[in-house]
Amino acid sequence: MDIVTAYVLYLLITVALTVTVARALSRSGRVFLREVFGGNDSLGTAVNRLLIVGFYLLNFGFATLTMRTTADISTARELLEMLSIKLGELLLIIGTLHVANVFIFTRIRRATQDTRPRRPGPGRGTTLPLGEAAEPYSGPRD
């Protein structure tokens, strides 16, 4: 096996994997980011795009930096072993970044929910976030 073949396979798989994951994260992240930013759809969309660009840059940068190998690849088995190590590293980085992003934006969402103005609830001195529906008031409870 030629090392150039190994590099080409690694790059093809990496690009396909990164694009597929980026599309899935972008679709699923839209709703989440809209919620994080209090229903501001344009801000959620802008942040989503920025995150995707960062995702591409980090993944492709990591993939190209770690592409070099000193392994002697003379059989299909050695090729698959090298690819599994390289792709496993990439997947671990993608997963770690994803979990970190979700953690950060969940904290942002909690912080923005805690600072939203509140209005009095019906008759019991409770408060509800603005825009949240209260249960119908059915009179005093015994």
pLDDT tens-digit readout, 54-71: 989 999 999 998 888 887
Does residue 137 belong to any structural domain of this protein?
Answer: no
- Quick one: tokens of 42? 């344009």
Q: In terms of residue numbers, what domain contains 22?
A: 3-116
Does residue 125 belong to any structural domain of this protein?
Answer: no
77-100 mean pLDDT: 89
Q: Does the pLDDT value for residue 2 go beyond 70?
A: yes
pLDDT score for 14: 92
Total structural domains in the chain? 1
Does residue 129 belong to any structural domain of this protein?
Answer: no
Instruction: Return the closest-CA partner of residue 90 out of 1, 11, 4, 34.
Output: 11
Does residue 37 belong to any structural domain of this protein?
Answer: yes
pLDDT score for 115: 65
pLDDT tens-digit readout, 104-142: 888 887 887 766 555 555 555 555 555 555 555 565 665
Residue type at 29 in one-letter notation: G
Does residue 14 belong to any structural domain of this protein?
Answer: yes
pLDDT tens-digit readout, 6-19: 889 999 999 999 99
Does residue 68 belong to any structural domain of this protein?
Answer: yes
Does residue 123 belong to any structural domain of this protein?
Answer: no
Of 32-41, 75-84, 120-129, the least confident: 120-129
